C-alpha cells in the first residue's frame, strides 16, 4: 500500500519517457536514457511497472507539464531574455516541448541552458534519473551492496578510513536513536563547540552546531536557522535523536587562507568527486562551497560555489548563468572578487591523494563525492556520498552521458 500511495502522489515518471524509445535504431543517447529507465523496473513485476510508468507519463503531460512550464518561465524568463535576447514565448515553446517530448522538468531545462540549445537535452542526467543512474554505474563494477552500506554509515566509514591512516573527523559521542536521549548539555564539555548530525543520511537533515555552557547553549541548524537558547538546542537534539543514531563531533575551523571567503565562521567545504575510469581513479569534478550569507526569505544559509581546477587546485569563477537573477549574478561576482587573489588551495595535493586512497578501498563504487574541510592542521574528511547530486558537475562540464 505504501508503494501504491507513492506512485499515486508522484507526478512524473522515474526517468525520461518518450516515443523514440519504440524504435530500435535509436542513437546512443536515446538508448542510454531508455536503459536507465528500464533499470528501475527490477523491483516490480514488469507489467505493473509499465502500467505505473505510463500512468505517470500521462499524468505529467495532462496535469503538470503546462503549470510547471508556466512557473519556470515566470521565474526565469525575464532574466534569460535580458541576458540572451531570447524572447519569452520562444523559451516557453522550447521548455514545454521538452516537457511533452521527454518529461523533462522545465526548471531543469533552464538549469542546463536548454532554452538555448534544446538539441543537447539528452546529454544530461536529470533528477528523476539520478538514483537509477548511479545504481547502473555501480552495477557495472560488480557487487556493491556492502560498500554502499559502509559509505552511508558515517561512523563506519570514518573507522574504516582511519584504519588506513586517512584524516577523518572523529566522533566524541555516539548516541543510539531514542525518543528520550540524555540531555545534550550533559554530553559536551563547557565551552566546546560541537556539531551534531545523524549517523546516516545526507543534505544535513536535522544537523546543527552548538557552543556554550550548560545553561547558555546557542546553536545554528545546518540550514542556517539560529537556535537562540538552551531550550531550542535541546529541542533540536531530541528531534535529531528520533531520526537516527546521533554523532557528536568537534566543530572544525577553516584554514586561514580560505576563512575570509565565508560571511561568518561556518565551515567551507571542498566537494571532490572521484570516479573509476577503468582501473584508474580520476576526478569527475571539484568545487569549493562557501557560506556567503542568509536568504532574506527563508533565513537559510546561502552558498556560493567556486569550481576547482582538479590538477592544480586553482579556484575558477562559476560561469554566470543567463537564468540567474541579478542578485545571484552579483553575489557570484563578489565571491570571485574575494577568491581570485587566493590562488591555489592549501594542501591540495594531500586532499587529492587522500580522496584517491579512500576511493581505492571501494573498487565496486563508480563515483563518490568526498566532503572535506580545509583546516589549519590539513584537510579533514567529513563524509563520503554515493548519492551525490549531478546538477553542478553537469552545469560546469556538460552532461554526464557524453563523458563515458
Q: C-alpha angle with apex 91: 90 to 94, nearest 5 degrees?
A: 85
Task: Name the phi and psi angles at 345, rounded to 5.
Answer: -70, 145
pLDDT single digits (tens) 114-138 = 999 999 999 999 999 999 999 999 9
Indicate the SS3 state at residue 250. Answer: strand
CA 245 to chain centre: 22
Q: C-alpha angle with apex 273: 267 to 274, nearest 5 degrees?
A: 135
Q: Which residue has the cell 569563477?
A: 317
142-168+253-402 has CATH 3.30.470.20 classification? yes
Residues in Cβ contact with 142 at an 8 Å cutoff, skipping those fewer than 6 apart: 364
Whole-number pLDDT of residue 360: 98
pLDDT single digits (tens) 201-244 = 888 899 999 988 767 899 999 988 999 999 999 999 999 999 99
DSSP 64: I
Could you state, in chain order, the average pLDDT of each consecutive group of 10 residues for the chain (404 residues)? 62 89 85 91 81 92 96 98 98 98 97 97 96 91 88 97 98 96 92 94 90 84 91 96 97 96 94 95 97 82 95 97 95 96 94 98 96 98 96 97 85
Question: How far is residue 183 from each of residues 122, 191, 204, measured CA to CA in Å?
Answer: 52, 16, 21
Whole-number pLDDT of residue 5: 59
Q: Which residue has the cell 528520550?
A: 180
Report d(CA 278, CA 282) in Å as an integer. 10
Q: Are 273 and 283 in contact (CB under 8 A)?
A: yes
* Residues pairing with 275 in the sheet: 282, 367
Domain ranges of the chain: 2-135, 142-168+253-402, 173-250
Amino acid at each position: 500500500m505504501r508503494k501504491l500511495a507513492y506512485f499515486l502522489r508522484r507526478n512524473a515518471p522515474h526517468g525520461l519517457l518518450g516515443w523514440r524509445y519504440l524504435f530500435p535504431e535509436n542513437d546512443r543517447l536515446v538508448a542510454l536514457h531508455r536503459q536507465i529507465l528500464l533499470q528501475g523496473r527490477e523491483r516490480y513485476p514488469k507489467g505493473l511497472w509499465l502500467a505505473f510508468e505510463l500512468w505517470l507519463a500521462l499524468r505529467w503531460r495532462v496535469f503538470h507539464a503546462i503549470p510547471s512550464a508556466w512557473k519556470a518561465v515566470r521565474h526565469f524568463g525575464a532574466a534569460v531574455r535580458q541576458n540572451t535576447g531570447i524572447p519569452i514565448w520562444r523559451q516557453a515553446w522550447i521548455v514545454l516541448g521538452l516537457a511533452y517530448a521527454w518529461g523533462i522538468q522545465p526548471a531543469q531545462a533552464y538549469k542546463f541552458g536548454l532554452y538555448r540549445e534544446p538539441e543537447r537535452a539528452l546529454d544530461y542526467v536529470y533528477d528523476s534519473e539520478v538514483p537509477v543512474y548511479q545504481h547502473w554505474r555501480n552495477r557495472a563494477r560488480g557487487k556493491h551492496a556492502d560498500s554502499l552500506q559502509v559509505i552511508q554509515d558515517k561512523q563506519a566509514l570514518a573507522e574504516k578510513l582511519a584504519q588506513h591512516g586517512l584524516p577523518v573527523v572523529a566522533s566524541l559521542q555516539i548516541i543510539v536513536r531514542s525518543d528520550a536521549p540524555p540531555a545534550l548539555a550533559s554530553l559536551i564539555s563547557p565551552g566546546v563547540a560541537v556539531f551534531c548530525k545523524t549517523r546516516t543520511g545526507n543534505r544535513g537533515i536535522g544537523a546543527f552546531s552548538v557552543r556554550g555552557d550548560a545553561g547558555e547553549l546557542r546553536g545554528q541548524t545546518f540550514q542556517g536557522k539560529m537556535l537562540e537558547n538552551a531550550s531550542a538546542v535541546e529541542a533540536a537534539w531530541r528531534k535529531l535523536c528520533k531520526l537516527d543514531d546521533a554523532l557528536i563531533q568537534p566543530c572544525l575551523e577553516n584554514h586561514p587562507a580560505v576563512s575570509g571567503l565565508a560571511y561568518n565562521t561556518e565551515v567551507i567545504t571542498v566537494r571532490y568527486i572521484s570516479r573509476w575510469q577503468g582501473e584508474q581513479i580520476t576526478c569527475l569534478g571539484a568545487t569549493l562551497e562557501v557560506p556567503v550569507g542568509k536568504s532574506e526569505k527563508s533565513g537559510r544559509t546561502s552558498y556560493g560555489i567556486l569550481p576547482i581546477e582538479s590538477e592544480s587546485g586553482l579556484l575558477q569563477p562559476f560561469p554566470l548563468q543567463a537564468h540567474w537573477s541579478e542578485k545571484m549574478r552579483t553575489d557570484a561576482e563578489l565571491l570571485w572578487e574575494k577568491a581570485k587573489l587566493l590562488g591555489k588551495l592549501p594542501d591540495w595535493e594531500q586532499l587529492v591523494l587522500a580522496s584517491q586512497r579512500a576511493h581505492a578501498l571501494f573498487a565496486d563504487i563508480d563515483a563518490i563525492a568526498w566532503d572535506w574541510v580545509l583546516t589549519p592542521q590539513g584537510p579533514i574528511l567529513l563524509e563520503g556520498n554515493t548519492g551525490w547530486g549531478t546538477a553542478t558537475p553537469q552545469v560546469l562540464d556538460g552532461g554526464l552521458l557524453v563523458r563515458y
